[in-house]
């Protein structure tokens, strides 16, 4: 038997890309590839890219440039670009970077085996179609290998919201939900391979409305179906849109023990004028009321958010409204970004904010969010939380895992193994993690 070919995948962007990279590795696994952690010994390199901000997209070209020497040494090396930059700029990539043999958009990964064969025959291939079929159903080369305790599972893809700043509706296409039975089968399979926690993924995951045996299921109904799987201990989902936060999902946060008390609910801005221009279809007030209802159902829930500062025409007063909203909500964690102009999106044509003003606002917002994050993390000290251990820590005998609230927790002299869920008392709060002791 010939030695297996080696595949190096580098993943950028959101969790959906992480999930997709795993699926691509499985698809090429069927063609005799094994994954390697180093580009240097690869026979095929895939960059799974992100187009969300300009910096993210530009990284791809600089990364590709670095493979020049490698390709010169190894003419058989194949280089591919996948993900959202591939979708948005496929032809430009081929033009700008002759090293690239293959460009594959996020909806065509199931065609990778054929594409790989073509590159081996010396062809260049580009596939950025939006085919009708469920790519994940076609990606069936799944070896029954053991897995770590946590996994992502994509249940919904694409977006119909068209926020004025965002490329996702163009790179990922229209919103589509996967049928529930396929998701449940995949979840069952993951659990049989050692997974204890599943994070359901979708660009608008709470808009999920996949086909079930008796009509469409909401995300909450899907969660209740997953709740029945023995051995699955924790369920999470991300990312949600405020307008799709239905009552049954809010209730599930209060009543489903496996559903973790953590919710990523991006608001983007606190000024209604800006929210309107962003085409967000919610107001600051409606968002705050929604958070109140969620906290009424699950008082200890940790709220996470996304923010954009310096959106076209944002004034200092608009920005203050964002700061006020943050003060009111109190975030346990958050991601904040300076607005990045994305060609082809409606906001790209509008009057831009002075970059120095935007930088200054971003710094002020991040200082506030960091302070809140710190306070929420510190407030865990003295509390008992569930921790799912994932791996050994840096110190001998130490284990690390995530709390119900998604804080990193480490425990010294720990007898627990990876995959074990334990009750832990939090004893200290460090720079980026908590220290705890297993109870009992």
For 235, phi then psi, to 5°, come to -130, 135
Per-residue binder mask for ligand SF4 (CB under 6 A), 170-209, x = binder:
---------------------------------xx-----
Pick one of ligand SF4, ligand F3S, ligand SAH, none as the site partner of residue 50 (Cβ within 5 to 8 A by kind): ligand F3S
* Size of interface with ligand SAH, in residues (CB under 6 A): 17
Residue choice 161, 330, 364, 383 for contact with ligand SF4 (CB under 6 A):
161
β-pairing verdict for 156-157 and 150-154: unpaired
Pick one of ligand SAH, ligand SF4, ligand F3S, none as the site partner of residue 171 (Cβ within 5 to 8 A by kind): ligand F3S
Report the nearest approach of ligand SF4 to the CB of residue 52 (Å).
8
Q: Are residues 218 and 248 in contact, defined by beta-carbon separation less than 8 angstroms? A: yes
Site for ligand SF4 in 228-257 (CB under 6 A): 241
Pick one of ligand SF4, ligand SAH, ligand F3S, none as the site partner of residue 16 (Cβ within 5 to 8 A by kind): ligand F3S
Rounded-to-10 torsion of CA 219, 223, 226, 228:
-140
Distance linking the first and last C-alpha atoms of the chain: 52
* Size of interface with ligand SF4, in residues (CB under 6 A): 10
| 34 Cβ contact partners less than 8 Å away, ≥ 6 residues apart | 4, 5, 6, 7
Q: Are residues 118 and 142 in contact, defined by beta-carbon separation less than 8 angstroms? A: no
Q: How far from the centroid of its chain's Cα atoms is residue 316's Cα? A: 31
User: Between residues 201 and 309, which has the closer beta carbon with respect to ligand F3S?
Assistant: 201
User: Between residues 167 and 200, which has the closer beta carbon with respect to ligand F3S?
Assistant: 167
Report the nearest approach of ligand SAH to the CB of residue 6 (Å).
32
* DSSP assignment of 29-54: HTTTEEE-S-GGG-SEEEEEE--SSH
CA distances from 144 to 26, 33, 147, 190, 346 (A): 11, 16, 9, 9, 45
Assigned token pair, 161? 């919201």
* Burial class for 219, CB neighbours closer than 10 Å (0-12, 13-18, 19+): buried
* Cα distance between residue 254 and residue 301, in whole Å: 9
User: Between residues 23 and 53, which has the closer beta carbon with respect to ligand SAH?
Assistant: 53
From 147-155, 156-164, 323-331, 356-364, span contacting ligand SF4 (CB under 6 A): 156-164
Pick one of ligand SAH, ligand F3S, ligand SF4, none as the site partner of residue 422 (Cβ within 5 to 8 A by kind): none
By CB under 6 A, residue 60 contacts ligand SAH: no
Report the nearest approach of ligand SF4 to the CB of residue 164 (Å).
9
From 157-165, 192-200, 225-233, 245-253, span contacting ligand SF4 (CB under 6 A): 157-165
Task: Tally the residues of the chain.
Answer: 440
Report the nearest approach of ligand F3S to the CB of residue 290 (Å).
23
Binding site for ligand F3S (CB under 6 A): 13-14, 16-17, 50-52, 83-84, 167-168, 171-172
């Amino acid at each position: 038997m010939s030695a297996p070919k080696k595949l190096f995948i580098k993943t950028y962007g959101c969790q959906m890309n992480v999930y997709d990279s795993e699926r691509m590795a499985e698809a090429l696994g069927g063609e005799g590839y094994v994954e390697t952690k180093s580009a240097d010994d690869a026979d095929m390199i895939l960059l799974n890219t992100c187009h969300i901000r300009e910096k993210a997209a530009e990284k791809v070209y600089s990364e590709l440039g670095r493979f020049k020497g490698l390709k010169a040494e190894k003419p058989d090396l194949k280089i591919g670009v996948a993900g959202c930059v591939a979708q948005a700029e496929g032809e430009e990539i081929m033009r700008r970077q002759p090293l690239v043999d293959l460009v594959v958009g996020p909806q065509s990964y199931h065609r990778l085996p054929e594409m790989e064969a073509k590159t081996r025959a010396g062809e260049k291939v580009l596939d950025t179609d939006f085919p009708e079929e469920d790519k994940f159903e076609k990606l069936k080369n799944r070896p029954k290998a053991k897995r770590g305790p946590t996994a992502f599972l994509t249940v919904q893809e694409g977006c119909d919201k068209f926020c004025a700043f965002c490329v996702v509706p163009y790179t990922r296409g229209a919103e589509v939900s996967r049928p529930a039975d396929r998701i449940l089968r995949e979840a069952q399979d993951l659990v049989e391979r050692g997974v204890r926690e599943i994070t359901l993924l979708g660009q608008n995951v709470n808009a999920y409305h996949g086909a079930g045996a008796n009509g469409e299921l909401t995300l909450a109904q899907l969660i209740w179906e997953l709740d029945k799987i023995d051995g699955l201990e924790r369920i999470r989902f991300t990312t949600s849109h405020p307008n799709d936060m239905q009552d049954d999902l809010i209730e599930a946060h209060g009543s489903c023990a496996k559903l973790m008390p953590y919710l990523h609910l991006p608001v983007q801005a606190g000024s209604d004028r800006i929210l309107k221009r962003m085409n967000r279809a919610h107001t600051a007030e409606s968002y705050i009321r929604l958070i109140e209802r969620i906290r009424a159902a699950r008082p200890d829930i940790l709220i996470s958010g996304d923010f954009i500062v310096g959106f076209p025409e944002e004034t200092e007063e608009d920005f203050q409204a964002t700061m006020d909203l943050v003060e009111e909500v109190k975030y346990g964690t958050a991601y904040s970004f300076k607005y990045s102009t994305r060609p082809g999106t409606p906001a790209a044509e509008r009057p831009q904010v002075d970059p120095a003003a935007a930088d200054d606002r971003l710094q002020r917002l991040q200082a506030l969010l960091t302070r809140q994050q710190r306070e929420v993390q510190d407030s865990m000290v003295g509390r008992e939380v569930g921790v799912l251990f994932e791996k050994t820590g840096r110190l001998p005998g130490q284990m690390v895992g995530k709390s119900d609230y998604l804080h990193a927790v480490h425990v010294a002299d720990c007898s627990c193994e990876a995959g074990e869920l334990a009750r832990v008392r939090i004893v200290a709060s460090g720079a980026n993690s908590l220290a705890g002791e297993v109870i009992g």
